[in-house]
């Protein structure tokens, strides 16, 4: 299974979390993903905040491919409403 790094973020004025995922970073398993996340957490968060300065809080974690696709589908449904 493929794993990705995802950031669950909150922006000022919003009550719903937003999700940011870099599809270019793919890992073979959760252990490798978590090791990368822990090693580069500071750089990941700095890059996230540099690209999205409106972010108030961010929680960076690993997510498997199937869960990421479900999350993406849910986000698309909400946008259509």
**How many C-beta neighbours within 10 Å does residue 32 have?**
13
In sequence order, the 6+-apart residues with CB closer than 8 A to the CB of 51 are: none
Domains of the chain, by residue range, sit at 3-80
**Cα angle value 32/46/42 (rounded, 5°):** 45
In this prediction, residue 19 has a pLDDT band, given cuts at 50, 70 and 90, of very high
Encode pLDDT of 23-69 as tens digits: 899 999 999 999 999 999 999 999 999 999 999 999 999 999 999 99
**Model's pTM, two decimal places?**
0.85
pLDDT of residue 11: 92
């Amino acid at each position: 299974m493929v794993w990705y790094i995802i950031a669950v973020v909150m922006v000022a004025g919003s009550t719903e979390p937003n999700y940011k995922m870099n599809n270019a970073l793919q890992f073979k398993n959760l252990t490798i993903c978590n090791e990368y996340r822990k090693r580069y957490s500071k750089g990941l968060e700095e890059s996230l905040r540099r690209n999205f300065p409106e972010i108030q809080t961010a929680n960076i974690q690993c997510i498997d491919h199937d869960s990421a696709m479900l999350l993406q589908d849910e986000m698309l449904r909400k946008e259509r409403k």
